[in-house]
């Protein structure tokens, strides 16, 4: 069961630079530090098979992810059986490693991220160039308003 897997096949803490030493990397929802975590984006760069614990959070690139192609979805009901299946199939392991690497290159590489941000900023720039933002003077918080009060 999942408790046995977590007890026998996990480490209490592994530095990110050591992730490449492991065959499987498990992404859990949330963050260890209480802030946004981009951990999942880095897991594919280690050449491991990424296991994603089932959760409801969403990132902008999740719509492009395919279970069984780029990662494997797991929870407490299937973690052990998924690991058994993966351990028994080198060809499936290879397929997932390749799929993960292709996904990371196509959706999370530097050029792709820059292009994404440029497209977002371009839309915002166009919207603001057409008209002034709809901010009421009485509710605006600007440095000029603060100086007028003084």
pLDDT value at position 51? 96
Sheet harboring 24-27: ordered strands across?
24-27, 49-53, 72-74
Predicted TM-score (pTM) of this structure: 0.70
Beta-ladder partners of 73? 52
| pLDDT tens digits for range 109-150 | 888 888 888 888 888 887 777 666 666 666 656 555 444 544
| pLDDT tens digits for range 34-85 | 555 678 888 988 999 999 999 888 888 899 999 999 999 999 999 999 999 9
Q: 56: closest CA among 86, 26, 29, 77? A: 29
pLDDT value at position 48? 94
pLDDT value at position 137? 67
Beta-ladder partners of 53? 74
What CA–CA distance (Å, rounded) separates 43 from 50?
A: 7
List b or e across 134-148, with b for residues whose CB sees 16 or more CB atoms inside 10 angstroms.
eeeeeeeeeeeeeee
What CA–CA distance (Å, rounded) separates 123 from 85?
A: 46
pLDDT value at position 66? 97
């Amino acid at each position: 069961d999942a408790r046995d897997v977590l007890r026998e096949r996990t480490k209490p803490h592994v530095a990110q630079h050591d992730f490449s030493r492991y065959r499987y990397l498990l992404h859990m929802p949330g963050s260890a530090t209480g802030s946004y975590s981009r951990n999942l984006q880095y897991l594919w760069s280690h050449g491991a098979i990424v296991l994603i614990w089932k959760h409801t959070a969403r990132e902008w690139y999740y719509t492009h992810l395919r279970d069984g192609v780029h990662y494997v979805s797991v929870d407490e009901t299937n973690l052990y059986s998924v690991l058994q299946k993966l351990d028994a199939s080198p060809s499936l392991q290879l397929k997932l490693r390749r799929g993960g690497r292709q996904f990371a290159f196509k959706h999370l590489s530097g050029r792709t991220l820059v292009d994404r941000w440029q497209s977002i900023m371009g839309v915002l720039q166009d919207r603001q160039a057409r008209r002034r933002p709809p901010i009421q003077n009485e509710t605006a918080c600007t440095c000029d308003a603060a100086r007028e009060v003084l």
